[in-house]
Amino acid sequence: MKQSTLDALAAAGLDPEAVARIARTALEEDLGGPTGTDVTGAATIDAAQTDTAELVARADGVVAGLAVAAAVFDLASEGASRFEPLVADGAAVRRDDVLAVITGPTRALLTGERPALNLLCRMSGVATHTRRWADALQGTKAQVLDTRKTTPGLRILEKYAVRAGGGTNKRIGLYDAAMIKDNHKLAAGSLTAAYQRVRERFPDVPAQVEVTTVDEAVEAVDAGADFLLCDNMSPDLLRDVVKAVGERAELEATGGLTLDRAREYAETGVDYLSVGALTHSSPILDIALDLRPRDAGPSERPRHAGLPEGE
């Protein structure tokens, strides 16, 4: 990948090697057959032809994943393309806004088109959905959290998109935080026993305990837990938990939360609302790649919240 793409990925907190693996997989899905090539492009486009294309929003939303798209075009063109973002990830955009301009071998632009858009549209859809939740929680102390309910192979991208949309990441996997749920309590014999075993085996790993009643919340905090997952509780029950242990532990509400009731739950006093739908049910943001007509000059660059005009 080009240095500009590596720098953009690093600035986003994304591992360039991991992104490169995802980008290669996306390209190989299209190019991995018997011919190993884009047969339409190879038949209709001269190998030496170059063009300029624009990534264009087809709907209003929030952008995430431009550097990931750049990585796809870098690999498709073997470094021969130039990717110029016109907005920043996290920017709110409108339909018909130009998000980026890519110049390079025409075959490579069209080979990279669908793999790049699959990732960019998916990530931007997650960011757009997350922004709606973040906006709904404005004025409360609650933050919206993601979960591990992610698309296999795309977790780092989807969790990045949550951040771009104004949300907060929970644990990345099973390795960076313990989550003591009902099955762990049953296997260990009790909530307290499960928590103590985690602390003994992994004393430096953050640990959260799932609770469903006020009594369980008190037991968990008395055992030493300082982060509770309040599962499928009504707003009234959440308020009781906040009153009982809210000064001793961070509290996360989860289970069946919907955007139309987000503020009601946030106003109970919990610290987080955990929403699996951010990553498992977000619709894509429709984005297209349009080749500029060969006899046309550069499009007028739109003004955006993401980058000041002229950058």
The H-or-E segment that residue 237 falls in is helix 235-245
- What residues form DSSP beta bridges with 85? 100
In the set 114, 155, 292, 301, the catalytic residue is 114
Q: Is 294 a catalytic residue?
A: no
Q: Is 204 a catalytic residue?
A: no
Q: Are 81 and 74 in contact (CB under 8 A)?
A: yes
In the set 149, 155, 199, 248, the catalytic residue is 149
Q: Is 210 a catalytic residue?
A: yes
Q: Strand locations in 65-155, DSSP E?
A: 82-85, 92-93, 98-105, 143-145
Q: Is the pLDDT of residue 305 over 90?
A: no
Q: Is 21 a catalytic residue?
A: no
Q: Which amino acid would we find at residue 106?
A: T
Q: Is the pLDDT of residue 12 over 80?
A: yes
In the set 231, 250, 267, 286, the catalytic residue is 231
In the set 54, 97, 210, 271, the catalytic residue is 210
Domains and CATH numbers, the chain: 3-127+283-291 (3.90.1170.20), 134-280 (3.20.20.70)
Q: What is the pLDDT of residue 302?
A: 46
Q: Is the pLDDT of residue 300 over 60?
A: no
In the set 58, 141, 181, 303, the catalytic residue is 181
List, for residues 75-130, the tens digit of each pLDDT value. Answer: 999 999 999 999 999 999 999 999 999 999 999 999 999 999 999 999 999 999 99
Q: Are 208 and 225 in contact (CB under 8 A)?
A: yes
Alpha carbon distance 200, 207 (integer Å) = 12
List, for residues 148-194, the tens digit of each pLDDT value. Answer: 999 999 999 999 999 999 999 999 999 999 999 999 999 999 999 99
Whether pTM exceeds 0.85: yes
The H-or-E segment that residue 200 falls in is helix 191-201
Q: Is 236 a catalytic residue?
A: no
